[in-house]
Chain A
């Protein structure tokens, strides 16, 4: 088969994925939309009558909602890791999977960004977090970690969205020429006048390299900033210099696990097995092992350091409380899923069997949510003053909002899959032509990926 025929076949496969949806797609869309609507209704109770619907009470003023925020920021990490960092490291396997990861990043940041606002007692005043000229003589406090979040998350959302849409432009142009109706109009808009001329590629490949160079430190900074929300406080279990690398590794672990969780059913439902192959899943699984080992090392470091403290030390007390107190099931489930799951993937048979890989990645997703819960909730529930100790239990309204976020995320994702190419057509063509990921310093300046 000539390269031109291969290129056409890649386009046809992507075009087929954009065909009329089947009943399963509509069912998934209805379920995710329904769950989101229920979560939104539950939140409306909080807006209308106050935070008493939540289980938040002194000293545990952060609960499920902040757990959700940290979890979704973490999920958002893999997109930039796979698209930008692996691009700079010239990892060719990223080609077939990075578009899904980038879409996941944008939708996950959109989800994460909601939570600090949902968590406010008066969310309609969320704009007070932004620096803008006002007549109240009020200005934001740049020394507050919550303001760092505002800057980090909004920058991450904008840069991730730009990165996604810039990557889509050549693919939209490839689909535009054979599209009809509203879809043609959409692709014309997304293609931004793309014609594939050498002059366009010359600027595009250079710009892509710069985007990757910007996004790489950004992805590390964002979750480091989120970890500082905790680490700069003096609360036992939070005040640790380990937090930034620990959070970044955990974020990548949860993000890559989520990418696999999405890719496994996606490649089957959209018949993308020829483009997203078992090898791609295998490489992602190896990434899960690598980041899982870092997370395991971080857990061990925290525990060993706390165990070395004197019996009266609050850090030691907090870690003992996590392991043996009322939240012990959360702690041990977290350890089992996040440490044991990646270790199981060391067995090649487990890693290359789709259902076991999916099962382990689902477990890691649960484990990573529990890790955020374990960090956020247990430290506040067991502060320095024993008279203040109190067990926080999320209410049904908080659970509805937590699951509502999953509904919102998957709803956006399902719609996005039908609008945007789920794989990078241009890069797959480049790979098919026998070139592939030469990276920024490859044999030719123009090389895309």
Chain B
């Protein structure tokens, strides 16, 4: 269910960043949609870092342990005796273990970002069904639509619409 509020757009990311700072100073909750992650806008929004590493690094660890189990474990199960070489020969196994660490870590990272962007793209994060020019930075101020509209106009928004 989308929040009620107002949506304003800006042609310049720098103006949008200034507006975000101003709106947050006045106690408004602001969400944004933008064509690129403009550092000034991102910094003004003051969002915490994504916790993606809590999925990615365990994924890499699973790849590492899986690589060890696959190489050492299966070599011990199916012993292939060749010319005095040890059955568990770590230097060559490291290559396979490394590749699996990268592979599973990357796939875990992909799964995490897929979930993150899916959740972050839902209507609860930003009002859906309101057409926004993809070339402009759009700010959504949560709250009473009339008050939010006024706040956006005061902050310098160029096109303002009420939502909800």
Contacts and interface: CB of A to CB of B under 8 A. Distances in A.
Given A4-B136, A166-B110, A203-B112, A193 B118 contact: yes
B134 A174 contact: yes
Given A4-B133, A159-B106, A430 B11 contact: no
B45 A203 contact: no
Given A148-B95, A166-B110, A214-B109, A198 B42 contact: yes
Given A142-B92, A429-B36, A202 B47 contact: yes
Q: How large is the interface on B (under 10, 10 to 19, 20 to 34, 35 or more residues)?
A: 35 or more
A242 interface: no
B150 interface: no
The B interface is mostly helix, strand or loop, or mixed, namely helix
Contact of B120 (A174, A202, A426): A202
Contacts of A206: 49-50, 52-53, 113
A211 B106 contact: yes
A195 B95 contact: no
A434 to B, nearest CB: 8
B74 A445 contact: no
Contact of A159 (B33, B42, B71, B102): B102
B34 interface: yes
A102 to B, nearest CB: 14
Q: How large is the interface on A (under 10, 10 to 19, 20 to 34, 35 or more residues)?
A: 35 or more
A444 B42 contact: yes
B31 interface: yes
Contacts of A429: 35-36
Most buried by B among A3, A170, A434: A3
Contact of A201 (B34, B43, B53, B118): B34
Contacts of A200: 116-117, 120-121, 125
Interface in A427-449: 427, 429-430, 433-435, 438, 442-448
A31 interface: no
Interface in B132-156: 133-136
Contacts of A446: 37-39, 41-43, 47
Contacts of B53: 206, 210
B156 to A, nearest CB: 14
A181 B118 CA distance: 24
A339 interface: no
A194 B115 CA distance: 12
B105 A214 contact: yes
Nearest to B114: A192
B80 A139 contact: yes
Contacts of B78: 137-139
Given A159-B102, A214-B106, A444-B42, A195 B126 contact: yes
Contacts of A152: 95, 99
A448 B98 CA distance: 27
B104 to A, nearest CB: 10
A89 B108 CA distance: 24
B35 A426 contact: yes
Most buried by B among A11, A200, A206: A200
Contact of B37 (A7, A8, A204): A204
A231 to B, nearest CB: 13
Contact of A430 (B37, B77, B103): B37
Given A159-B102, A177-B134, A205 B37 contact: yes
Given A131-B74, A139-B77, A210-B53, A198 B106 contact: no
Interface in B16-46: 31-43, 45
Given A148-B92, A196-B134, A162 B110 contact: yes
A447 B126 contact: no
A15 to B, nearest CB: 12
B109 A3 contact: no
A420 to B, nearest CB: 18
Contacts of A170: 35-36
B96 interface: yes
A268 interface: no
Nearest to B72: A142
A135 interface: no
Nearest to B139: A198
Contact of A433 (B31, B36, B95, B113): B36
A267 to B, nearest CB: 22
B119 interface: yes
Contacts of B34: 196, 198, 201
Interface stretch (A59-67, A217-225, A303-311): A217-225
24 contacts: A7-B35, A11-B135, A142-B74, A142-B93, A148-B96, A159-B102, A166-B113, A170-B36, A192-B114, A192-B117, A196-B33, A197-B32, A198-B33, A198-B45, A199-B119, A202-B116, A203-B52, A206-B113, A207-B112, A214-B102, A214-B106, A221-B99, A433-B14, A435-B38
